[in-house]
Structure 1
Amino acid sequence: MLALTSFLDPLAGSAAAALAVVVVTLVVRIVLIPVGVSQARAEQSRAHLAPRLRMLRERWARSPERLQRETMQLYRDEGASPLAGCLPVLAQAPVVGLLYAVFLHPTVGGHANELLAHQLFGVPLGRSLVDALSTGMTDAATLAVVGTLVAVIALAAEMTRRLLRPSADPAAPRWMARLVGALHFSAAVVAVFVPVAAGLYLAVTTVWTLAQRLLLRRRYPLPS
């Protein structure tokens, strides 16, 4: 990250580290394109399986354990997964954790962390809204930057929820549907607690996710 920041410094100046975060985000998402394609295929498969899932639910309504076994067997037979939508989020968790650690520690390898000197519109990339509130360092710039990142994440999540509403899975437990719905907005909550650098990553990756899924929905449409 430091090497990339140094490379971008002549172009972006004090925002070089922020630009480096964006570049890293785009690289990660390009690498994860196959995961997104698999997710789209799995969602399409689940939509096609919906009639058979309804039949299983009607047949084994009085036997929840048997219904669960039969449902999982159907998913295995068709090469689909009810949790495929969570894969992109889980795959990116280590990257968010790494950015959190890099912009959290004042020293790295026994040397001062030079990345902490970089800013985004005057706000240090290592600052989080929660830390700023707890230490009394909250200012208008911090509120504006973090608020904008949270708003972008929440807006992209809401558009994803509205435009890409998954087809109903009659055999899926209610907690699973609630979990998938909550995951749409979890990144907005996380952005309040993590450094601005990690929040920037979450904002860029959320917008990418929306655009990618819209394109893949055209390639792998759900049955009407």
Structure 2
Amino acid sequence: MGPIGDAFNVILTPLYYAVSGVLLAWHWIFSHLGLDPEGGASWALSIIGLTLVIRAALIPLFVRQIKASRNMQLMQPKVKELQKKYGHDRERLAQETMKLYKDAGTNPFASCLPILLQMPIFFSLFRLIDEASDGISHGFLSEEKARHFGDAMLFGKFEISASFTQSGGSTAVQVLAAFLVVAMTATTFTTQRQLMSKNMPPSALSGPYAQQQKMLLYILPVVFAVGGIAFPIGVLLYWTTSNLWTMGQQFYVIRNNPAPGTDAEKAKIERDRRRAEAKGLPDPTLPAVGEGTDTAVETERRPQQRQQPKRQPKSQRSSQSPSKSPSQNGQRGQRNPAKKKNGNKR
């Protein structure tokens, strides 16, 4: 092993202890539940239990990933405006774009955190399974446990350490490995498409970032499909279980906290309306009386009261009354004789 391999092994050593510790804890539980300690079922279920523990620990980062990805998409109209304004100056455009992200509290790299943090765990599990069949132990795995782990047979036919490319000529192993590779690829694609199709408004599905996400939507599954044929069955179990967890968790977040202006928000509003109608409650999609626009409507319906002028003192009224001009006095004097003449004629 060269210096690069030694450095890589030093970096993964803490993860070896963490992964093997959780793995052995689940194996102890399933062994005491009646499963064969050396059988493939106990080790396969231990890998699934390891996956659940890791994904549960990554829930806060997953929520940040969902919010960051959603905010990045919602900010694309503003990014387009910056591109029109500073398209001739790439440096200024990059500065203004990062400033926009910072003011909005969005980190473009936050959407990659769960995957980036899972990759070292993925490689450590890969090394544990790949080398366990040769009796090489890591972390808390003893040589005996490592050998049992590597040689464990799932359903009596499939070694956990076997892969599509290293099946030992077994067609059954290749079929199971191919099935898990397809499942891993399909769940990766479905998870990403679920986020883009249901939790993104139409205005956010255009622009450079949206095009990048669409490219990853098709590139990542291809990468996993090509690389997956070399993964041991145990690693494929881990990754497929992780993707299924992601799908369910993402479905829950999108269903209960959709982005504004998306199909998921419309579906949630309709569900809330039907639920309230079934219980005989007011429509929750409408603001309550006295809130929002209803206040203005109620105000318009009420008859407006006439404002009475304030009574002023006599001295103030006399000072504000206009002085009579001589012409007005003359007109009044002319009207009075006319009334007298009319009276005389009668």
State the TM-score, normalized to the length of structure 2: 0.58
**Residue in 2 aligned with 1:207?**
244
> Which of structures 1 and 2 has the bigger CA Rg?
2
**Residue in 2 aligned with 1:148?**
179
* Structure-2 change in CA distance of 1:217 and 1:173 (3 Å): closer
SS at match of 1:24: helix
Amino acid at match of 1:56: L
How far apart are the structure 2 equivalents of 1:115 and 1:202? Answer: 18
Q: 1:24 aligns with which of 32, 46, 50?
A: 50
Q: For residue 61 of structure 1, report the CA deviation from its aligned partner.
A: 1.4
How far apart are the structure 2 equivalents of 1:12 and 1:186? Answer: 36
How far apart are the structure 1 equivalents of 2:188 and 2:222? Answer: 6
**Residue in 1 aligned with 2:75?**
49
Q: Return the structure number with greater relative CO, CA threshold 8 A, min gap 6.
A: 1
Q: For residue 160 of structure 1, report the CA deviation from its aligned partner.
A: 2.0
* Structure-2 change in CA distance of 1:181 and 1:151 (3 Å): closer
Amino acid at match of 2:163: S
Q: For residue 211 of structure 1, report the CA deviation from its aligned partner.
A: 1.3
Q: 1:71 aligns with which of 81, 97, 104?
A: 97
How far apart are the structure 1 equivalents of 2:183 and 2:30? Answer: 25
Q: Where does structure 2 lack aligned partners over 5 or more consecutive residues?
A: 1-22, 262-346
Q: Where does structure 1 lack aligned partners over 5 or more consecutive residues?
A: none
SS at match of 2:252: helix
Which string of whole-angstrom CA distances, capped at 9 and with x for unpartnered residues, describes residues 62-115 of structure 1? Answer: 222221221122112212122332211111112211211111112216724221
Amino acid at match of 1:38: R
CA contact (8 A) 2:186 2:221 kept: no
Q: For residue 222 of structure 1, report the CA deviation from its aligned partner.
A: 2.5
* Structure-2 change in CA distance of 1:188 and 1:35 (3 Å): farther
Which string of whole-angstrom CA distances, capped at 9 and with x for unpartnered residues, describes residues 28-85 of structure 1? Answer: 1111111111111112322332221111111111222221221122112212122332
Amino acid at match of 2:184: I
% same residue: 26
Mean CA deviation greater in 33-42 or 182-191: 182-191
CA RMSD of aligned residues (A): 2.4
State the TM-score, normalized to the length of structure 1: 0.86
CA contact (8 A) 2:73 2:210 kept: no
The answer to whether structure 1 residue 108 and structure 2 residue 132 are counterparts is: no
Amino acid at match of 2:149: L
Mean CA deviation greater in 19-28 or 144-153: 144-153
CA contact (8 A) 1:57 1:171 kept: no
